[in-house]
Structure 1
């Protein structure tokens, strides 16, 4: 099921409590560009197929990561790419975007996504794993 652009951005805007759609769009683009650098193969393609077309393109053409970033560095990278962001606001942005991604991905795909990411990303997606 592919979520349309308006529904995706509206969900991010609501969860991130953004005053404007533009801020939700910017957060979505940055977080998905960084996430795309961490995912590979069928997992990235399957997630892209569920995103609005514009955001699927962002995920499939990611910012380059030389190594998988642990969650705290992913947040710092997000802060660096969003003008005026702090680590606190970047954490909020990452959580808003990735929780919407988790909802559209479903449990099976989320399990595959989390297998490709360093430990700790389950919390960023809002899907904590039992320890």
Structure 2
């Protein structure tokens, strides 16, 4: 079931402690564009079906990663896309967005998503897996 735009952004704004919905939206767009470049097939489509429509389109953008980014490089890439960001603020952005994505996805879809990503993304989603 697709989450409403206002509920999604409000939750990210709250988790990320952003002063405005626009900042939560900016973080969402950047993080979902990068995440979408790492996902393929059914998992990507199912995740998009649960996001607000405009953000689903960003996740489904034809951008494809040349190689999977480690969690550390994913954070660096996020920082590079956000004007004035540091690795610390990018980590905050990634955690705020991906923890809400994890909630929206549910356990089964999240586990299938993590299978497509390099080790360590479970922490970015706020769902540490036991090894």
> What displacement does 1:48 show?
0.2
Runs of 4+ in 1 over 6 A off after TM superposition: none
Q: What do residues 15-36 of structure 1 show as CA deviations (whole Å, max 9, x unaligned)?
A: 0000011110000000000000
Q: What do residues 79-104 of structure 1 show as CA deviations (whole Å, max 9, x unaligned)?
A: 00011110000000000000000001
Unaligned runs of at least 5 residues, structure 1: none
- Indicate whether 1:5 and 2:9 are aligned: no
C-alpha separation in 1, matches of 2:50 and 2:30: 18
1:56 corresponds to which residue? 56
C-alpha separation in 2, matches of 1:107 and 1:89: 27
> What displacement does 1:62 show?
5.1
1:19 corresponds to which residue? 19
TM-score (norm 1): 0.98
